[in-house]
C-alpha cells in the first residue's frame, strides 16, 4: 500500500470514527471520501488479496455471510462487506475498515457486489471466484430485463477468464456454456425427495437462448428448477453440489442433506436453503470438512432486517427485507410456516435504492396468505396506497389498517399482539429500524 493510500485510509477511518459517535454508524461516507480523494483507490486496496465475488438478484448478503463463515473455518483472516453495502463506496469502505496486511501477507476478500455495479468495480481487480446466486425480475426500471443482468454477469466472467464460476444450476439464466471459465453448479436433486416443498409447474419462462417457453420437470420457486427448452435443447447442467433432501423446514430452522451429509441451518425458508447450498459449494471449493461446514452454518449471523427477530416486552418482531415479486412470495411462504396467530406489517417505499417501478406488487400472489392465522394487516411507507389496494384485491378477509411508520412503532408498543411480522423494502426497513432504535426498542 503506497503512502497516498495510507493517508487516505487514515482520513477516511477518522471520518468513520466521528460518524459512529454522531450517528448509529453504517454510513457509506468513508468510502465516498476515499473515492473523492482517489477514484482509483480500490486498485491499491485490493493488491495482495484473493477475491471471491457473490452476485445475483436475491440472497447475496446471507450467502456472503455464510461464505465468510466457511473461510473463517479454514483459518482465513477475511475482508467482507457484511452489512450488504454492495456498491463501490461500500466495497472501498470494507477494505478501509480492515486491518492492513503485513508485508508478504496474502488476504482473502469475500465481497457481495451489486449486479449493476459489477463491471465498474472489476476495472480495479480480477476476482478468483464468482458465485452466482440467482436471477429474477428486479428493479426493471434500472436493469431493463433479467437477460440484461445475465449479460452483465457473463461480461464480468469473461473479463476474468481464470476465475472459477460457482453458479446456481437451477437458474436457466446462469447456465453459460460458452464461458472459458471453469464452472461448478449447485442445485436441487429432485429425484431423491418428495415434492412436498416444491411448487406446481406453472411458469411461463422464456429460454435465455432462443426465447421459446421453457418446460420444467420440477420447480422450486420463481424460475429455479429442472428445466428444458424443447426448441433449442438448453437444459439444466449437470450438478456438482446437490441438495438431496429437506428433512425439516420451518420459519427459523432447516435440516437438509447436501450430497448425502445432513446439516442443520439456523434459518428457515426455501430461499435460505439455496443460500446455504451456495455457501456449501464454496466451502467444498475451499476443501472444508463436513464438520467445518456445519460449524460455519451454526455460526451464521442474524443480518440486520433479514429474518432478524427483535424481542420487546414479550413480543417477537420479525424483520423481513423484500425487493421484488419472488422475494415477497418467498417471505410470505416463510411467514406461513408459523402456525401461531400473527399480525403482518407491510412497509413499501419506491426510492431509487428500492426500485422506483412498483409494478411488481401487482404480480405478487397475496392469496397464498388466505389460510394464515392473521389477526391484522397494517400498511405503511411511500407506497402505502399501492400495497393496500393489492391486498384488498386479494382473497384475504383480514382487517387492513394504513399507518405512518411512526404510528406503526407506537402500535407495536401498545398492542397485545405477541407475533408481528414486518415485511419492508430496503429504504423502508432502514427507516423503520432507525425509529426502533430511537425508541429504544433495539440497540
For residue 288, say whether it is annotated as part of any ligand binding site: no
Q: Are strands 129-132 and 215-221 parallel, antiparallel or unpaired?
A: unpaired
User: Residues for the chain: how many in total?
Assistant: 443
What is the tens place of the pLDDT at every residue in 294-321? 999 999 887 766 778 888 888 899 999 9
Q: How far is CA 276 from CA 12, 35, 156, 169, in A?
A: 34, 34, 24, 14
Distance CA 115, CA 135 (A): 10
* pLDDT given at position 204: 83
For residue 229, say whether it is annotated as part of any ligand binding site: yes
Distance CA 424, CA 438 (A): 18
| Cell output for 229 | 427448452
Distance CA 307, CA 122 (A): 31
| Cell output for 248 | 425439516
Alpha helices in 118-269 (DSSP H): 118-121, 140-143, 146-159
* pLDDT given at position 337: 87
| Cell output for 186 | 449447485
pTM as predicted: 0.90
pLDDT tens series, the chain, 443 aa? 666 676 776 666 666 555 555 444 455 777 788 888 889 999 999 999 999 999 999 999 999 999 999 999 999 989 998 877 888 998 998 998 888 888 888 899 999 999 989 999 999 999 999 999 999 987 665 667 899 999 999 999 999 999 999 999 999 999 998 999 999 999 999 887 656 566 656 678 999 999 999 999 999 999 999 999 999 999 999 999 999 999 999 888 999 999 999 999 999 889 999 999 999 999 999 999 999 999 999 998 877 667 788 888 888 999 999 989 999 999 999 999 888 899 999 999 999 888 888 999 999 999 999 999 999 999 999 999 999 999 999 999 999 999 998 899 899 989 988 999 999 999 999 899 888 888 888 87
Domain ranges in the chain are: 3-299, 306-439
Q: Which residues are catalytic?
A: 357
What is the tens place of the pLDDT at every residue in 177-195? 899 999 999 999 988 765 6
* pLDDT given at position 339: 80
Side-chain-side CA neighbours of 340 within 13 Å: the count stands at 9
* pLDDT given at position 195: 60
3-state secondary structure of 301: coil
Q: Are 185 and 241 in contact (CB under 8 A)?
A: yes
Report residue 84 CA to chain centroid gap: 8
| Cell output for 159 | 473479463
* pLDDT given at position 139: 63
Q: Which of 388, 377, 380 is nearest to 421 (CA)?
A: 377
* pLDDT given at position 301: 80
Distance CA 279, CA 62 (A): 9
Q: Are 52 and 112 in contact (CB under 8 A)?
A: no
* pLDDT given at position 233: 94
CATH topology of domain 3-299: 3.40.1190
* pLDDT given at position 355: 85
Q: Which of 355, 403, 348 is nearest to 381 (CA)?
A: 348
* pLDDT given at position 22: 45
For residue 67, say whether it is annotated as part of any ligand binding site: no
Distance CA 126, CA 52 (A): 9
Q: What is the DSSP letter of 303?
A: B
Which one is the CATH code of 306-439: 3.40.30.10, 3.90.190.20, 2.60.40.1180, 3.40.50.410?
3.90.190.20
Task: Report residue 437: phi and psi, to 5°.
Answer: -65, -45
| Cell output for 413 | 408498543
- Measured at the CA of 338, the angle between CA 337 and CA 344, to 5 degrees, comes to 110
For residue 207, say whether it is annotated as part of any ligand binding site: yes
Q: At what angle do helices 29-37 and 3-22 cross, to 10 degrees?
A: 150
Burial call 393-407: b when 16+ CB within 10 Å, e when fewer: ebebeeebeebebee
Amino acid at each position: 500500500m503506497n503512502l497516498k493510500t495510507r493517508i487516505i485510509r487514515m482520513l477516511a477511518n477518522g471520518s468513520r470514527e466521528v460518524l459512529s459517535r454522531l450517528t448509529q454508524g453504517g454510513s457509506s461516507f468513508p468510502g465516498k471520501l476515499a473515492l473523492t480523494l482517489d477514484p482509483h483507490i480500490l486498485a491499491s486496496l485490493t493488491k495482495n488479496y484473493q477475491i471471491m465475488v457473490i452476485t445475483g438478484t436475491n440472497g447475496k448478503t446471507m450467502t456472503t455471510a455464510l461464505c465468510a463463515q466457511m473461510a473463517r473455518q479454514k483459518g482465513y483472516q477475511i475482508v467482507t462487506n457484511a452489512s450488504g453495502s454492495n456498491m463501490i463506496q461500500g466495497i472501498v469502505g470494507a477494505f478501509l475498515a480492515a486491518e492492513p496486511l503485513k508485508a508478504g501477507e496474502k488476504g482473502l476478500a469475500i465481497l457481495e457486489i451489486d449486479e449493476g455495479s459489477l463491471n465498474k468495480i472489476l476495472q480495479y481487480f480480477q476476482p478468483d471466484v464468482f458465485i452466482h446466486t440467482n436471477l429474477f425480475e428486479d428493479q426493471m426500471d434500472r436493469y431493463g430485463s433479467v437477460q440484461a443482468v445475465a449479460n452483465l454477469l457473463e461480461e464480468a466472467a469473461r473479463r476474468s477468464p481464470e476465475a472459477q464460476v460457482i453458479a446456481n444450476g437451477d437458474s436457466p439464466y446462469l447456465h453459460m456454456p460458452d464461458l472459458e471459465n471453469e464452472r461448478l453448479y449447485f442445485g436441487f436433486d429432485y429425484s431423491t425427495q418428495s415434492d412436498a416443498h416444491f411448487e406446481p409447474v406453472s411458469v411461463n419462462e422464456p429460454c435465455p437462448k432462443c426465447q421459446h417457453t421453457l418446460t420444467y420437470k420440477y420447480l422450486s420457486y420463481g424460475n429455479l428448477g429442472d428445466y428444458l427448452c424443447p426448441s433449442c435443447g438448453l437444459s439444466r447442467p449437470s450438478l456438482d453440489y446437490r441438495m438431496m433432501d429437506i428433512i425439516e423446514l420451518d420459519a427459523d430452522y432447516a435440516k437438509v442433506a447436501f450430497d448425502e451429509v445432513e446439516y442443520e441451518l439456523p434459518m428457515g425458508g426455501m430461499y435460505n436453503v439455496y443460500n446455504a447450498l451456495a455457501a456449501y459449494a464454496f466451502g467444498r471449493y475451499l476443501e472444508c470438512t463436513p464438520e467445518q461446514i456445519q460449524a460455519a452454518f451454526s455460526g451464521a449471523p442474524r443480518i440486520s432486517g433479514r429474518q432478524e427477530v427483535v424481542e420487546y416486552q414479550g413480543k417477537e418482531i420479525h424483520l423481513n427485507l423484500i425487493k421484488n415479486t419472488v422475494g415477497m412470495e418467498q417471505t410470505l411462504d416463510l411467514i406461513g410456516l408459523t402456525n401461531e396467530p400473527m399480525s403482518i406489517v407491510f412497509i413499501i417505499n419506491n426510492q431509487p435504492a428500492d426500485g422506483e417501478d412498483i409494478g411488481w406488487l401487482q404480480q405478487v400472489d397475496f392469496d397464498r396468505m388466505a389460510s394464515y392465522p392473521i389477526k391484522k394487516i397494517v400498511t405503511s411507507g411511500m407506497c402505502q396506497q399501492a400495497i393496500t389496494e393489492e391486498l384488498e384485491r386479494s382473497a384475504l378477509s383480514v382487517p387492513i389498517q394504513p399507518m405512518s411508520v411512526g404510528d406503526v412503532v407506537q402500535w407495536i408498543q401498545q398492542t397485545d399482539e405477541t407475533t408481528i411480522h414486518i415485511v419492508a423494502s430496503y429504504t423502508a426497513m432502514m427507516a423503520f429500524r432507525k425509529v426502533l432504535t430511537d425508541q429504544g426498542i433495539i440497540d
